[in-house]
Amino acid sequence: MHSRPSRCSRLSRGLTTTVLTAALALSLPPGANAQCVGEGGGSVGGGTPSDGNTPGAGGGIPSLPDAPTTSPSLPAPRTGNGGGSRPAGPTTGPVSPSGPRGRGRGQPECGITSGGQALIVSEESWSRWWNRHQDEFVWGRERNRRAAPSVVVSGSGTRALQQGANSGQRPLRRGYVYTQVVGPLLEVIQSDADPALRESAILALGEAVDDRFAAVVTDTLLPCLADDDLRIRSAAALGLGLAGDPSALPALTDLAYCSNSGHKLVGGGEVSQRVRTAALLGLGYSGAPEAMPTLNLILEALPDSSFEMKRAAIMALGLMQNERAPQAAAQLAGLLADRTLNNTIKAAVPTALARLGQVESVATLRDALNDRDTDRLVRQSCVIALGQLGSLAEPDLVHDLIDLALDDRDEATRNFATMALARLGAQPGDRQELAAEHAALTKAFSKQLKRPTNRNDRPFFALASGLYLQGNPGASPELLARLVAAYDDVSNPSVKGAYALALGLSGDRSAGRELRKDFSDLNDPVFRAHCALALGLLGYAEADTDLREAVTAKGQELFLTRSLGTALMLLDDPRATAALVDGFTNARSYEHRAGLAQALSAQRHEEVVPALRAAVTDDKLDGLSRASACSALGWVVGRNQLPWRAQLSVGSNFVAASPTVDDLLGMP
């Protein structure tokens, strides 16, 4: 049964006209009156009681009555002339824009029990790793083939997103963004009855707006916290954090504490575990230093049986890339040393430390890794974190990771150690000073590509070799030759994709011809998706016609269409947008239209907005198509270099997964 948009609609429907008026004002010349909307909203009372705790939470979840007002000196809501800036979120850290509920349907599972303990890592775990990290390679500054979008100021003072010097497309003017994108998203949130569609619109709105307009999101989403549908309440809490309006922090705090005010916000009754988890993540995404006391208190007050919320609080601490990062790192180091802390919870600590970027944490991580009593899930996360924070100039660390990659009994530890080594080897530095470390690393990779000790590990060694070669172009012809030979040696298409991606990462354009041929000759959709991305990463423009024709083909899987659109973006194909818009407008099946919406989102310029906007507002279209168009709009105009999910997916331990967190973030 669809949820009615009752409270959310009644309390915020009147905002739309005022919002669009304010949006138009943003594109006026300097000196024009740009009046802000609303003051941020307060508690919402009445409504239907929220549900209780979700199953699998591990017993009752205590609330903290009359929780303290978290931020004694919260900044006032921003006004229309810009207000203060909030700390930038981490630049590294989920998954290309995956559309609504993009939780990896059809992807191999790496199972966990209800208690969160990992089971056997599947043969296709490499694809799971790639799905969580591909944004880093597609959109990351150091790896993207064209400049990432950045905010610029034109001669008239209008703020815009500029697409990079090689793109011939028009920049995304912020006034245009708000009149053409924010309005339709608000209308869906306030008026539509489809919860999946409204959920996508809420998250897209949080991703799209910047500081000048975040208060409007607060006014719109606060009433949605009392919606009848749990998914809408959860999305609203997450969206409030994504938008980053300081005036929303007290509401997120009350939800996390499940205080009396939090009860009122959800319309009466307890705040569900899912909403509390979303609120904690929202506090992290806000990047606000004022969120630290709440996160710390949650970690101290909740029992380990509430492992989802405690893990969410730890992950949020890892997003505190602001002046309180050293304090957050110290708090996390204390949790890592706590021998009484549940290991499922503790496994989130090392990767959170890595996101903070405090290199002083390397010693703490190595101590935990070398402790014989450390649980294997925690060891896995320590290995991942050391790849993020360590250095090839630490020979003991390099040799320890090589030993783990080759000989550890735990498959995931071996695989994560392999990728950690690749990260260390790809770092810039003086190769002559580190010649011994480079030689040890390339020797290990070459040997495992030729005769792997554990055959299931070979795709990881391929990806690691590609990443290493990307950071060291031309430095190891032997390793490149081994990688090419390994690609030719593999016939299983579900594994061959790893080798194709590795060649794409390597930058060896001579591989483009064979990749292009295999893309055309092999019919496996998963391989073709990976092969298309490889061609894009190589910048192999000779394949642009093949990719352009394939992207609009009917009857293909959504994930393949999305990958084809991303590959065309990487090739900077000037004819791609027109082909995608035409295909999207004339698509007959909902899955094809949804895939093309996600392909359009990769283009990130003004020309794709009208078609997506028309789909969002067309109530005759199916919900999946409209929801995909909402998600696409959010990413097209998103203010960050990486999709918001990527801040927590990159560098994550998918073996020690959190079901509620993964579902909220749409992680595969």
pLDDT band for position 66 (cuts 50, 70, 90): very low
DSSP characters for 266-293? Answer: TTSSPPPHHHHHHHHHHHHHHT-GGGHH
Cα dihedral: 106, 107, 110, 111 (round 10): -10
Other C-beta atoms lying within 10 Å of the C-beta of residue 373: 7
Lowest mean pLDDT among 55-69, 102-116, 321-335: 102-116
3-class DSSP state for residue 391? coil
Prior bond to 95 cis, omega within 30?
A: yes
How much is the pLDDT for 124?
Answer: 75
Strands (E), 422-554: none
Residues 572-592, mean pLDDT to the nearest whole number: 89
- What distance lies between CA 615 and its chain's CA centroid? 24
pLDDT of residue 109: 31
Cα 398–403–404 angle (5° rounding)?
95
- Report CA-CA distances (Å) from 559 to 31, 498, 527, 591, 628: 47, 16, 11, 10, 12
Q: Please, which pLDDT band fits residue 641 given cuts at 50, 70 and 90?
A: confident
- Residue-wise pLDDT tens digits, 480-495: 999 999 999 999 998 9
- Using CA atoms, how far residue 560 sits from 101, 106, 548, 622, in Å, is 17, 12, 12, 20
Say whether pLDDT at 151 is over 60.
no
CB 630 within 8 A of CB 598: no
Helix (H, G, I), strand (E, B) or coil at 151: strand
Could you list the beta-strand ranges (E) of 159-230. Answer: 159-162, 172-173
Cα radius of gyration rounded to whole Å, the chain: 24
- For the chain, give the mean pLDDT: 80
8 touches 228 (CB < 8 A): no
Q: Which amino acid is at 483?
A: L
- Distance of alpha carbon 478 from alpha carbon 86, whole angstroms: 47
CB burial of residue 391 (10 Å; 0-12, 13-18, 19+):
middle
For residue 441, give both structure tokens. 């690393």
The runs of H, that is alpha helices, within 357-410 are 361-370, 376-389, 395-407
pLDDT tops 50 at residue 139: yes
- What is the model's pLDDT at position 280? 98
Write down the pLDDT at residue 120: 37
- The whole-model pTM stands at 0.81
Share of residues in the chain with pLDDT > 70 (%): 76
**Averaged over 343-357, what is the pLDDT?**
97
Q: What are 150's strand-pairing partners?
A: 162
| pLDDT of the residue at 178 | 73
pLDDT for residue 639: 81
Task: Give backbone dihedrals phi and psi of 150, rounded to 5 degrees, phi first.
Answer: -140, 150
pLDDT digits (tens, 9 = 90+) for 236-256: 999 999 999 999 999 999 999
Residue type at 195? P
Res 13: pLDDT: 41
Q: What are the C-alpha distances in Å from 96 to residues 79, 473, 633, 649? A: 32, 26, 13, 10
Which helix (H) or strand (E) covers residue 449, if one does? helix 435-450
Q: Per-residue pLDDT for 51 more than 70?
A: no
Q: Which residue shows structure tokens 């909203």?
A: 41
Is residue 100 very low, low, confident or very high in pLDDT (cuts 50, 70, 90)?
Answer: low
pLDDT > 90: percent of the chain:
63
List, in sequence order, every beta strand (DSSP E) within 59-169.
Answer: 150-153, 159-162
The Cα–Cα gap between 295 and 252 comes to 11
User: Residue 219 above 70 pLDDT?
Assistant: yes
CA distance 494 to 532: 14
- Ranking 114-123, 149-158, 620-629 by mean pLDDT, the lowest is 149-158
Return d(Cα 593, Cα 487) in angstroms, integer.
Answer: 33
End-to-end CA distance of the chain: 26
CA 264 – CA 46 distance, rounded (Å): 7
Quick one: how far is CA 606 from the chain centroid? 23
Residue 453 has pLDDT above 80, yes or no: yes
63 touches 259 (CB < 8 A): yes
Does 571 score more than 50 pLDDT?
yes
Q: Among 392-396, 398-402, 588-592, 619-623, name the one with the lowest average pLDDT.
A: 588-592
Res. 74 pLDDT band, cuts 50 70 90: very low
List C-alpha distances in Å: 611 to 175, 442, 468, 593.
Answer: 18, 48, 40, 11
As a whole number of angstroms, the distance between CA 318 and CA 351 comes to 8
CA dihedral over 297, 300, 303, 308, signed as positive or negative: positive
* Stronger pLDDT, 552 or 278, i.e. the higher one: 278
**Which span out of 5-9, 121-125, 468-472 was modeled with the highest average pLDDT?**
468-472
Residues 295 and 280: beta-carbon distance below 8 Å: yes
Phi and psi of 443, rounded to 5°? -65, -45
Q: State how far the Cα of 178 lies from the Cα of 416, in Å rounded to an integer.
A: 42
DSSP assignment letter at 598: H
Beta-sheet pairing, 159-162 with 150-153: antiparallel
Q: What is the rounded CA–CA span in Å between residue 269 and residue 278? A: 17
Segment 82-109 mean pLDDT: 36
